[in-house]
Structure 1
Amino acid sequence: MDRMEIESFLARLKGLKALVIGDLMLDEYVWGRTDRISPEAPVQVVEVVRQDLRLGGAGNVVNNLVALGCQIEVAGALGEDEDGRGLRSMLEARGIGTGGIVLDVGRTTSRKTRILASNQQMLRIDRESTSPISAEVEKQLAAQVRDAVSGCQVILVSDYLKGVLTQGLLQEIFAIGRAAGIPVVVDPKGNDYHKYRGATLITPNRKEAQTASGILISDDAGLCRAGRKLRESLGLEALVLTRSEEGMSLFLADGQEVHLPTEAREVFDVSGAGDTVLALLGIGLGAGLSVENAAHVANLAAGIVVGKVGTSTVAPEEILEVAGRQHSDSDLKIKGREILSVLLERERERGKRIVFTNGCFDLLHVGHVKYLQKARNLGDLLVLGLNSDASIRRLKGPKRPLIGEEERAHLMAALKCIDYVVTFDEDTPLELIDALRPQILVKGGDYAPEGVVGKELVESYGGRVEIISFVDGKSTTNVIETILERYRDE
């Protein structure tokens, strides 16, 4: 999956909606100083400096989706207590749908309090219920899930073994997903994985896969045996086995196995990486990506998260920055239409003048280069709209182009005078111009201003059209004729 495909996927995230189901918790952090021992007992005295209350458990999956800009519905069971009401308020304050949450009067909302001093965790205090929810609460929650799933593209299940995700409820969730025609992706826990039969995909880590499969994972062969056994025994469409800083392994229904190494980086903390993988994998499948492509993006994101301290999230810009390291400089300039429109809007807000021109640029020559250099000098950024191969064939006949669109895009992106390249498939660039809204529209000297496609549109919002003369005698047709003339006898 190349950078442009990743950009296109990330640009669509705001239109995607996920339903997150699982064990919702509060993570409380208490930071302090300690420099003495208590006279009451041989323990350190912590002088509290600050406190922080965050979403935890399945809430960290929510945090990841929020960072990505997705729409979110949440389902789960909370205690009818102060922490339950506070957790629900935190979700609603972020614009997250909470209609799928059931309040259970006999339940204690999970709250984990961590005491930290001298740059280390001193103590953790857990207040929670871990017993299975009652049959009545299970029935209520299943009904809430049926309502909450409307408009969602994926269901994400985050199991922390706190009693909410009973086997009965999980089977109801899987059935709801099948009825809605959307994937159900699970981050599993525990020894017994039979309760996950019916899911689309599960994401165990190496230790969890070893425990659930009963196969020792001491090398790659053991890892593959465990992955194959779990996927086959549970009838999954796919299993993604996460391997911390070593990346992840995919086991697909057709028997294919794919191993994705992570980008080499210093690992500070793997906590929360599983939640990031669940979020990216799930929303990737919801967006229509293949398992392999969704896993590729999730793997990039996990590599970023393990380089951070504490449970963390990842922003789209961070994923793009890492994806950009894997490709050449020219590839960084080639953008999809959706992401480029966002980038150019930011540039306009900074006061930049955006210049746009378009063409086939089949067989690059000096006339092209001089033309583009003059166009770039009219503003602060030059965007080149490049006709696709199909577009050129319709315009110039079945023998053109001589150079494919991917190669042409890289050749044009390599020019210093060009800031961005975007390919379009239409016969004219009008739709592209409407999406990008440049202030200056440039065409070559063989055009009259009134004949330039997009002129009225650009002028309607205060832009202008500029005509630049070509270098005499320099054209792709002339180049082709020269080649044919010189090599005709041969």
Structure 2
Amino acid sequence: MKRTAVESFLSGLPSIRALVVGDLMLDEYLWGNADRISPEAPVQVVDVKRHDLRLGGAGNVINNLLRLGCQVDVASVLGEDEDGKLLRRRLQELQVGIDGVQQVPGRTTSRKTRVLASNQQMLRIDRESCEAILGMQEDALVAYIRRQMNHVDVVLLSDYLKGVLTPLVLREIIDAGRQAGIPVVVDPKGSDYSKYKGATLLTPNRKEAQLASQIEITDDATLRVAGRKLCRELDLDVLVLTRSEEGMSLFKRNGTEVDLPTEAREVYDVSGAGDTVLCLFGVGLAGGLSLEDTAYLANVAAGVVVGKVGTSTVSPHEILEVVEGQHLDTDRKIKSRCLISAEMQQARERGRTIVFTNGCFDLLHVGHVKYLQKARRLGDLLVLGLNSDTSIRRLKGAKRPFIDQEERAHILAALDCVDYVVIFDEDTPLELIREVRPHILVKGGDYQPDQVVGKEIVESYGGHVELITFVDGKSTTNIVEKILQAYQE
């Protein structure tokens, strides 16, 4: 996946609204030292030094979505107890929509308390209700979810078998998603996957797939048999079977299978990696990515999460850092329109002088190079606005350009004097200049100052225009004429 495509997708995440439905809980961590044995019984005494209370279960899915920048609503059922009130307050503080969260008298809100000493978990205490929610609670939950289908881009189901996602609730959600054309992505649990039939996508791991398919997975062949069976019998668009250190395998409705190797990283803790995969597939489908590109980003994100200790999330910046490390320097310099404004704001805050120029740069020659080197010397960084193929055809005719925009962008990005390359589709770079807000606007010496597009904008905030003379006799037209003459002879 191209870096610019990753940038463009990640920058669009704040516009995605996700609905999370499932089992909310509190994860409590008590950290301490265990240096002695209790006189009351042959057990270790933990001297608690630190206490941490986090959103768990479906709450970790919410945390992942928020870290990615998405808007989030949640639907669930809690107890009408102090933990239920606390959980609602935490969600409100995070600006999560909680109109779909019910509180029921007599139900215990899930709290899992983990006692840790010397970086080892010594004990876990669970306080929760696991019985299925009642019919009236199911009806209220379903009614809310059906109303929200007109306002969300994706539904993520986080099932921990605590009674919220009953077979009826699941059936109604999946049917509503199909009717509205909204993807329903599920992190499944248990051995009976029939309740998830018709969902868009499921993300079981190898152990879960073995349990649900009733096929013992011992090698690649049996894994594929299990994956195909689940995808077919559950009427899924795609099954994503996560394979731990072996990456993941995708089984599509049309019979296509795709394997993705894991992103090699040092593994510290796999907690929460499944939630991260669920979220990336959800927002990828909502954001219009292809399944392969979505799987690639989910793989990258999961690789970041397992490199952290404790249930963790991943930010767009962390994903982009990994993607950058997989590409050449030229890719790093090619920026999408949606991100260049933020990049330049950071540059201004650091006191850097921004120079901007633009052009087609079709058949790069020494005149272009000398021009760009002179422009770069005027400031601290040079942003080059590059005409797209379609804009060149409008300006220069159907036979141009000779070299497509991706190749031209990489050739220009390979020059030391060019810091950023941004492709634009318009006939002029006026809108791009508004986004970059350069201190210095550079154009060729064959222009008069008043002819330079963007002059008024740049001068309005104290910037100025510089004209640089091209090297005589060096032009794309001259190169084309020499080639034609040589081959005609």
Using the size of structure 2 for normalisation, the TM-score is 0.98
**CA positional deviation for 1:270:** 1.3
Report the counterpart of residue 195 of structure 1 in structure 2: 195
Bigger Cα displacement from structure 2, 291-300 vs 165-174: 291-300
How far does the alpha carbon of each residue in 1:57-111 deviate from its partner, in whole angstroms, 9 at most, with x for none? Answer: 0111111111111111111011110001101111110111111101111211100
Report the counterpart of residue 343 of structure 1 in structure 2: 343
3-state SS in 1 of match to 2:36: coil
- Unpaired stretches in structure 1, ≥5 consecutive residues: none
3-state SS in 2 of match to 1:35: strand
CA distance in 1, matches of 2:292, 2:376: 39
CA distance in 1, matches of 2:109, 2:375: 62
Report the counterpart of residue 215 of structure 2 in structure 1: 215
Report the counterpart of residue 32 of structure 2 in structure 1: 32
CA distance in 1, matches of 2:223, 2:299: 18
* Aligned residues of 1:101 and 1:144 also touching (Cα < 8 A): no
Report the counterpart of residue 297 of structure 1 in structure 2: 297
3-state SS in 2 of match to 1:156: strand
Give the partner amino acid of 1:195: K
Report the counterpart of residue 159 of structure 1 in structure 2: 159
* Aligned residues of 2:355 and 2:441 also touching (Cα < 8 A): yes
Report the counterpart of residue 83 of structure 1 in structure 2: 83
Give the partner amino acid of 2:129: S
1:129 partnered with 2:129: yes
CA distance in 2, matches of 1:9, 1:68: 11
CA distance in 2, matches of 1:449, 1:45: 79
CA distance in 1, matches of 2:341, 2:184: 32
**CA positional deviation for 1:128:** 0.6
Report the counterpart of residue 239 of structure 1 in structure 2: 239
**CA positional deviation for 1:297:** 1.0
3-state SS in 1 of match to 2:155: strand
**CA positional deviation for 1:247:** 1.3
Report the counterpart of residue 327 of structure 2 in structure 1: 327
CA distance in 2, matches of 1:348, 1:245: 43
TM alignment of 1:5-404, pairs within 5 A = 5-404=5-404
Using the size of structure 1 for normalisation, the TM-score is 0.98
3-state SS in 2 of match to 1:45: strand
* Aligned residues of 2:300 and 2:319 also touching (Cα < 8 A): yes
* Aligned residues of 1:77 and 1:101 also touching (Cα < 8 A): yes
TM alignment of 1:408-447, pairs within 5 A = 408-447=408-447
How far does the alpha carbon of each residue in 1:354-388 deviate from its partner, in whole angstroms, 9 at most, with x for none? Answer: 21111111111111111111111122221111111
1:482 partnered with 2:482: yes
Give the partner amino acid of 1:38: S
* Aligned residues of 2:114 and 2:125 also touching (Cα < 8 A): yes
How far does the alpha carbon of each residue in 1:152-185 deviate from its partner, in whole angstroms, 9 at most, with x for none? Answer: 1100110011111000001111122223321110
How large is the Cα RMSD of the aligned pairs? 1.2
**CA positional deviation for 1:23:** 0.6
CA distance in 1, matches of 2:304, 2:239: 22
**CA positional deviation for 1:417:** 0.8
* Aligned residues of 2:22 and 2:157 also touching (Cα < 8 A): yes
* Aligned residues of 1:100 and 1:148 also touching (Cα < 8 A): no
* Aligned residues of 2:149 and 2:182 also touching (Cα < 8 A): no
CA distance in 2, matches of 1:440, 1:287: 36
**CA positional deviation for 1:487:** 3.0
* Aligned residues of 2:356 and 2:383 also touching (Cα < 8 A): yes
* Aligned residues of 1:27 and 1:54 also touching (Cα < 8 A): yes
* Aligned residues of 2:20 and 2:156 also touching (Cα < 8 A): yes
**CA positional deviation for 1:149:** 3.8
Give the partner amino acid of 1:188: P
CA distance in 2, matches of 1:9, 1:208: 31
- Unpaired stretches in structure 2, ≥5 consecutive residues: none
Matched pairs, number: 489
**CA positional deviation for 1:390:** 1.5
